[in-house]
Amino acid sequence: MSGNRHHDCPRCSLVEDKAALLAFKKFVLIDPKSMLADWEAGVHVCNFTGSHTLVLNRNNLNGLIPDIFFLLTGLTVFAAMENNLTGQLPASLTNTTLYNLDVEYNHLSGELPSDLVSKLPDLLELAGMGLGERLPGSIGHPSLKRLKLQENRIFGSIPPEIGNLSNITMLNLTSNFLNGTPEEFGLLLMLERLFLSGNLFKSRIPLTLGKLPHHDLLDLSNNGFNGEIPASLGDLVALRSLNDSFWWHLRFGHIYVVLRQPAPMRSGVHSMLCDRNPPRKTNEFFQEKWKLKKASNTRINAQFPRIAHKELSNATGGFDDWNLIGTSSYGRVYKGVLQDGNTIAVKLLPLQSGNSTKSFNRECQVLKRIQHRNLIRIITACSLPDFKALVLPYMANGSLDSHLYPHSESCLGSGYSNLSLIQRVRICGDIAEGMAYLHHHPPVRVIHCDLKPGNVLLKDNMTALVSDFGIARLVVITVFLVK
C-alpha cells in the first residue's frame, strides 16, 4: 500500500472527497488485509491511507467501484490490479485528476467510459478485463506514455487516432482479436516496445515499423502476417529483441526474407529463400533452432523479495503436519502465515530425490517468466544446499480435484461434486487461457507435461490457476543472424 498523508489539503474539496472515499469503502465487500481500516467518518480525510496515491494491488478486494469515487479532487494514482473488483468502470473517470490507472486482471466488464483513454496523461493498465469491444477513436492522447490492453477480446481494426499517441513508449495489445494493417504504429516515433502477439493480423508487415528510432522490443508473433519481411526492420539499430515466430504461420509457398545489419556494420542486404526448413545454403546468415532448455539457474529476479529459512519455518510452525495441505512425489505443500499477516503456501522439495534440484530449478525458471491471471504466480523462493522451497499464494479453495471428487479418498461425505455446469465451463475456459499463454507467449514457450485436476488451483472466486511446473519444459525459439 502506498499512501500520502497530508495535514493540509489545499487542492481537495474535503467534504466531497471524504464522501467519495467512504462510498468506495462501503462497496468493498471483502478487505482481508484491512487496507481501508482507517477510512472512518471520525478520521480526517487527509489522514486516510492513500488519499492521493492509492495502491491496493493483490489484496483480494471484492466489490464494486462507485461512481462517486473518481470525483476525488486530489487522487492522482489508483492501482488495484489482481483483485476481485466487479461491475463497470465508472463514467466519472473522465472527470478525474488521475494520471495513472491500473485495474488490470479484475472482473470488471462493460464498455470503457467515453474519452477515458484520451484523458489519462501517463499510464493506463486495463489488461485481462475481457472488454470485448473495439478500440475507441478517442484513444489518441498525446501525453499517454504507456498503454496496456492485452487479453481483452478487443476486436476490429486499429483506429487511425492511435497515431496521435506521440509520446507513447510502450503499447501492449497482446491476445486480442485485432485485424487489418497496423500502419499507424509507424507514426509513434517515441515507441520503444510494441506487443501485437496473438491477434488476427493477416496483412503484410507494415514498412513503417522500420521507422521507429527508439524501438528495442517488437513482438509480432502468432498472427497471420504474410509476404516479405521489410528490409527496413534492419534499420532499427536500437532493436534488442524481435519475436519473429510469426513466419511459422506462413505455411504456403516460400517467403523472401530480407535481413540487414545495423547501420554501423552494414555492407549490403542479404536475401534468402526461407520456408519452415531453410535451405542449407542460407545458414551462414540465418539459423533457426527449437531446443528444450534445461534450467540451471535458480536466481530469482530483483522483483521477488528475499526470505529466510527461519521465516518460512516460523510461518508454517516448523513445517508441522498440522499445516500440511498437499503431498506428491514432487514435494510437500504447507500453509503458512508470515509476520505481516499474509497467508502463503510453501512448497518444500524432497532433497533425497536425485531429481529434486532439477525440478526446483526448472520450476523457478518457469514461474519467474510467466505472468497470467490463470497461472499460479511465484512470491519468492528459498534455496540452500539442504533446503529448497517455493513460496506461492495460498488458495483456500484448494485444487480442482478436491471439488470434482470430494472426500473420495477418505470415503467421507457424498463423493458428489457441487460444481455447477456454469462453474465447470468457466474453469475449463480459465485452464484453456492459461495453457494458451504457456504455449504461445514469448520469450519462451512452456510445455506443462503434467496437467491434471490436482494441479489446477481455485481462487476464492473460483478462478482457476494452472500450477506445479516441476516437470515442465521450456521451449526456446532462437533466431541467429550472422553479421
pLDDT at 297: 36
| pLDDT tens-digit map of 202-249 | 888 888 887 787 777 788 877 878 777 777 776 666 665 555 444 433
Q: How confident is the model at residue 199 (pLDDT cuts 50, 70, 90)?
A: confident
pLDDT mean across residues, the chain: 71
Cis peptide before 453 (omega within 30 of 0): no
Catalytic residue status for 244: no
Domain 309-477 in the same topology as domain 14-289: no
pLDDT given for residue 74 in this prediction: 67
- Would you kindly state where each structural domain of the chain is located, as residue ranges? 14-289, 309-477
Q: Cβ atoms within 10 A of the Cβ of 17, count?
A: 22
How many beta carbons lie within 10 A of that of residue 23, not counting itself? Answer: 16
pLDDT band, very low/low/confident/very high, at 300 (cuts 50, 70, 90): very low
Whole-angstrom distance, CA of residue 419 vs CA of residue 412: 18
Question: What's the CATH number of domain 309-477, 3.30.470.10, 3.40.50.11540, 1.10.510.10, 3.90.1200.10?
Answer: 1.10.510.10
Q: Which of 45-59, 270-284, 334-348, 422-436 has the lowest mean pLDDT?
A: 270-284
The predicted structure's pLDDT at residue 464: 93
The stretch 61-90 carries a mean pLDDT of 78
* Choice among 115, 235, 401, 450 that is catalytic: 450
pLDDT at position 51 is: 60
What value does the CA radius of gyration of the chain take, rounded to a whole number of Å? 25
What integer is the mean pLDDT of 121-133?
62
pLDDT > 50? residue 483: no
CATH for the 14-289 domain, from 3.80.10.10, 1.10.3720.10, 3.30.450.20, 3.90.1150.10: 3.80.10.10
- Reported as a pLDDT band with limits 50, 70 and 90, residue 476 is low
Using alpha carbons, list the distances in angstroms from residue 195 to 104, 216, 465.
17, 11, 24
Q: Which one has a higher pLDDT value, 171 or 76?
A: 171
Q: Is residue 269 scored above 60 in pLDDT?
A: no
Higher local confidence (pLDDT), 44 or 258:
44
Q: How far is CA 436 from CA 178, 197, 374, 454, in A?
A: 17, 12, 10, 19
Q: What is the average per-residue pLDDT within 136-164?
A: 81
Query: What's the confidence (pLDDT) of residue 425?
Result: 92
The whole-number pLDDT of residue 432 equals 92
pLDDT grade for 460, boundaries at 50, 70 and 90: confident
Winning range, highest mean pLDDT, from 152-156, 258-262, 293-297: 152-156
For 27-50, write each residue's pLDDT tens digit: 787 877 777 887 787 776 666 665
Between 327 and 16, where is the model more confident?
Answer: 327
Say yes or no to pLDDT of 392 above 50: yes
Tell me which residue of 302, 431, 450 sits closest to 376, measured CA to CA: 431
477 or 82, higher pLDDT: 82
Better-scored residue on pLDDT, 411 or 418: 418
